[in-house]
Structure formats: structure tokens, C-alpha cells
A and B are shown apart, each in its own frame.
Chain A
């Protein structure tokens, strides 16, 4: 199972957390597509111990039991 955590306004449609059954060969983009997340509205993605901007993370392979965090563009200070 892949646990996907969503943040800020991404929660409005999908809630805080979605569990997606793991399939061999799965990549970050499969999750994004499965959830119908707007690619242009994604910013940081953390998948296990890898993180980066959404556009560079799409092909990162997933492992079973992985935790994935998906953020829209936000900032603070």
C-alpha cells in the first residue's frame, strides 16, 4: 500500500490522506494521475527519502509501503 498525504488546498477535493494499492513498477506520476491531481498546481513532492519539485519527481519509482507527501505551491517564513 502507498500512503499519499495531501496538503493545503489539495485537501479540498481529496482529503488529507489516500491509500493506494501498490503495483509493481509504479511511479509517482501514476499516483498523481490516479488521483486526478492538477499537475500544474503541484510543487514539492516527497517520496520516501527523495524530494523535489513535482515535474522532476514524476518518474521516481515507488516501493510498497512508501509514504508520499504532495504539496501545492506554498511558502512561509
Chain B
């Protein structure tokens, strides 16, 4: 078998049993791997209506065929489960080395089911798989857990922090200490199963269909990544945070819980300032020639990050201009195992509730005010430990705002907090938010690329023409890339033909670009199907009222709202869905679903 290891590891925590099963190669190829294969396994094995935090939910850690191969950025994996935050399908991607290590241990995926009575961790050393007592790790931070379980250089560790243990609905799964499968609260699902960590050790190799061709293509793809100004220079030098000034420059940088799109403190909190003042070194995931990761240090903390989205959530969204505090909040998110976007955005929503006098007087204290730099660190810790009002915030911004009678103040889609681009200033990108299968997410069809950065070509960001078609194409291509085990950032330089070629050389298929896109479309529709059966339908394909009705008050996006109602019908049409957003029978059949 090429590209795939051919084995799935099934772990039943209720019974304390593990079992190795064969991977069905036909299914694997049809759904590629990672996000696609994970969705297929989950869809087949659970009732989409299950309570996400019950033993009936399953959590799947799944690789793509390119993870663990020499392909550039081939080290990414997916965590697929039903999300406790959104109730939709969750698939959270992460880098580092853990995913590749799982391949080296001999597995394409781990399917965890049931619930352990006591805290446990999973220890995998190739064929030897044990469920071990984790009582003395329970309550530990991610850094300490990772340190204690990393026994040698062939071992990598994935874990949750206190947030996941306490079922915080915005908890992440962390691996290699500071890489995060951040979104959708996947950490809480691990916590609900009393599973603290997965330690993986292994030294196998992944068999490749045509080693010579793989080598050649690696060389040319790596060269493309090096020659491209974005992946060869921008991302390595400044990391993702270089976007702070760009998105603020076009007036689409959400500030004070999306009350405006221009942030006064952008320069002090930008990627340029990060590089100048706090950056110690850059970091790269497994086999990545780009190396967009940051390692930064202040006089209080040091560690991985922060990323663009993280900086935004804790600075502009909370109106905080102190980058050192942002780095500190990021540090605590990593240690506690929290999604930085949802954590910052939930604090920002609480700040707006407070600003509008909507919170109970006895509830939060004075610290929840826009611009208060200490508050972002303070409340991050409270959320991670579910302490005081942090317990309410731990439910995510939607449930918190709903509790106070104003769900519309949660800047979320399908209860997942929106990331760092105001849809009023990037119309196509807003459509991806509204229609993403996991809710408000920027990496399910990154329309910022064409609408702002001009990649692969420049579209007018405030115009609607052809946007539904572009969104669909980006969503499908992303679903494919997410399923291969490569990093989405390669798509700034590589195209669908490159991906199909890399896939063919590794797996032994004969795919063209359109086959890759068709696989992506199949995956996208299956996710949609899961959501529909979970009871989450087209009525949730929307955006917060503010973005649809309140004009952007200032800056280069001034006067604009998001024109979703003009885009959505055409989007359903190009997707081959009916006017109610349901995939038609013919569409599903044509995709082999």
C-alpha cells in the first residue's frame, strides 16, 4: 500500500480495549485521508444527533497520505468529531510532527470511542498499544504533560490542558507543546472521554508509489515555494502576523467585537513589531520549507506563536494595544489548551455586554472593559479553569450572549467565533463564513487570497460578481488539501495540478486537477450531509445581524454591509443544492454519495 499505512487503531475506552483494523483502500482513496476520510468514518459510525460530550460521540485523529512522506509540509493531521460548541462536524487541523509520527508508528488513524472511568492516556509504540493511568497528569498544563511524556526523540505527544478536562467548549487539542488543533472545542471531546494525552513512538517509513518522481516533484514544489514571494519571503520573515497592517489597511480588521474595522493600535501589535521586539526565532512544522511559526519571548513568558488570528482576537477585538500581554494570553491558551480565536472573541463579546450594561452587576468585575490589557490574561485563565464568570465564558460567546438575552452580540456563525476579517470588507470571504461546514471559519475557503492579496488573481473585494463560484472552488480545493496532509499555506504557491501530481506520485493514482476538486466537493457535501442530519440546516448559513445591517462606520470599507442575501441563492445553485440549501439527490449521486 502506498501513501497509506493500511491500518486503523480503534480504542474503546469504556471497555479498555484496543484493536487494529485494516484500512479499506477504496474508501481511503475516495475520501483521500485527513478531513475527508475522518468525516466518512465519523458519518458511518455515529448518529449525527449524538450528544457531542457523551460516550456515544467518537473522536478521530487522522492522517493524510502525504503526512510522513518527504513532501513539503507533509506532517499535518486532522481531529474529526462532532463539535460540542457548534453541534456540527468538527475537523481541526494541526501541524508540528505528531501527525507524521502516527504514520511512523504504522497508523493512518486512531478512532477513540466510549469513555474511560478514570483519566488515562494512550501510549503507542508501533504495535504495542496501552491505555495507561493518567491520574498524575490530570490537571497539568500542556507544556508539563508534553515534557513528561516525551521520552525520546522518536516520540511525540498530543494532549489536552485543564480546559479540555473541564469540558470548556472552546478547548483545543494540542500537540508537540504549542501546535493546536484549535477550533470547534475538540479538546472538550477528549476531556469528556477522560483521555488526557496520546503518546506516539515509531520509526516506520511510508511506502511511496514512485520514489524517483516523488523526489523530483519535491524538488520542483520546494523551489516554487521558495521562489514565491509569499511563501519564500513574507511568511518566513514575518509569520502570519504580517497581515495585521494589511487587513487594518483596507478597513476590515474587526475591532471592539466588530464594532468597527479600523484599529488604532495596529502598528504596536503588528507582525513587524512582533519581529522587532519579541521574536526569538522562527519555527517550522515537520518537513516544512516555509516555516511560518514564531517563537517569542517577553519578560514574563516565552513560547510558540502568536499567530495573526491570535494577535487580532486579543488585541483589536478587545481593543488592547499591548503586544506583550497578547503574547502572554497566547501562552496561557497554549498551556490551558484553549482556542485562541474563540477565547479572545468571547472576552471581546463579554466586554461589549459589559459596555452596554447588560451583565449582572454581581457577575464579572470591573476588568471586563475594552482596552484593559490585564483583562485578556486574567479572563483567559478564568475560562481555562472555569472559574467565576469564566465558567459562563467557557461555553463560548454565543451561549454567553444568549444567557444575557443578546445572542446577536456574539460574532459567530453556527456558534463558532468569527476570525480576523470583517465580512463587510471582503464579500466573498463573508460567504465562506456563512457556509462553512464547521461555522465561522477562515480556513475553509480563504477568499482573502484573491479578494485582498491578489492570489492567484485579484478580485474586487467589495463586489459580488462570480464570488459564489470562487467560494465553491476554494472550499472544494481546501477540502482536498486538508485531506492530503499538506499545509493549506502551500496553496499560495502551488495549484490543483501540483497537488494532483504529488498525490499520484505517492498513492499511485492517475488524478488530474479536476479529480482533486471533485474529491474536495464530495467531502464538502458529506460534511453538509452530516450537519443536516444533526439538525443544522440552511437557516444557520448566515452572519451576525451587525454585519448584515450596520454599515461599517469608518475607514476604506465605510458604508458597507455584507450582502449575503444576494450571494446565497447563487451559491446554492453553483453547489447543485436546492433553494433551501439541501444537496439534491442528483448532486449526491454524481459525487458517489
Residues of A within 8 A of B (CB): 5, 7-9, 11, 16, 41, 43-44, 46, 48-53, 56, 69, 71-77
Instruction: Report whether A44 and B234 are in contact in the complex, using a CB–CB cutoff of 8 Å.
Output: no
How far, in Å, is A6 (CB) from chain B's closest CB? 10
Is there an interface contact between B453 and A77, defined as CB atoms closer than 8 Å? no
Minimum C-beta distance from A8 to chain B (A)? 6
Are A69 and B448 in contact, with the CB atoms below 8 A? Answer: no
6 A-B pairs closest in CB distance: A76-B240, A74-B234, A76-B243, A73-B229, A69-B249, A76-B308
B218 in the interface (beta carbon within 8 A): no
Tell me if B245 and A7 are in contact (CB < 8 A).
Answer: yes
User: Does A74 contact B243, Cβ atoms closer than 8 Å?
Assistant: yes
Do B249 and A76 touch across chains, with their CB atoms under 8 A apart? no
- With contact pairs A41-B229, A43-B453, A44-B246 given, residues A77 and B489 touching in the complex (Cβ less than 8 Å): yes
Contacting A at CB under 8 A, from B222-275, are: 229-230, 233-235, 237-243, 245-246, 249-250, 267, 271-272
* A71 engages B246 (CB within 8 Å): yes
Asked, given contacts A44-B454, A56-B458, A69-B249, whether A76 binds B272 with beta carbons under 8 Å apart, the answer is no
Q: Main secondary structure on chain B at its contact with chain A?
A: helix
**Do the beta carbons of B556 and A51 come within 8 Å of each other?**
yes
Complex contacts, B558 vs chain A, CB 8 Å: 49
B272 touching A44, Cβ below 8 Å: no
A-B contact list, 6 entries, CB within 8 Å: A11-B272, A46-B250, A52-B458, A69-B245, A73-B230, A74-B230
B582 close to chain A: CB less than 8 A? no
Residues of B within 8 Å of A77, CB to CB, are 240, 243, 308-309, 442-443, 446, 448, 488-489
Whether B556 and A75, one on each chain, are in contact in the complex, defined by CB atoms closer than 8 angstroms, is: no
A50 — which chain B residues lie within 8 A by C-beta?
Answer: 556
Residues of A within 8 A of B556 (CB): 46, 48-51
| A53 and B245 contacting across the interface, CB-CB below 8 Å | no
Instruction: Tell me if B452 counts as interface (CB < 8 A to partner A).
Output: yes
Contact assessment for B237 and A51 in the assembled complex, using a CB-CB cutoff below 8 Å: no
B469 touches A (CB below 8 Å) = no
Say how far A36's CB is from chain B's closest CB, in angstroms.
19
**When chains A and B are docked, how far (Å) is the Cα of A41 from the Cα of B446?**
23
A76-B245 in contact (CB<8A): no
CA distance A11 to B242 in the complex (A): 13
Residues in B with CB closer than 8 Å to A16 are 267, 272
Q: Which chain A positions have C-beta within 8 A of B292?
A: 76
Chain B residues with CB under 8 Å of A74's CB are: 230, 234-235, 238, 242-243, 246, 453
Q: How far is the CB of A21 from chain B (nearest CB, A)?
A: 23
Query: Which A residues touch B240, using CB under 8 A?
Result: 75-77
Known: A69-B245, A77-B243, A77-B442. 8 other contacts (CB 8 A): A51-B249, A51-B250, A75-B242, A75-B448, A75-B455, A76-B235, A76-B308, A77-B308
Identify which of A7, A11, A46, A53 contacts B458 (C-beta below 8 A): A53
B492 A44 Cβ-Cβ under 8 A: no
Knowing A9-B233, A11-B272, A44-B246, the reply to whether A75 touches B449 (Cβ < 8 A) is: yes
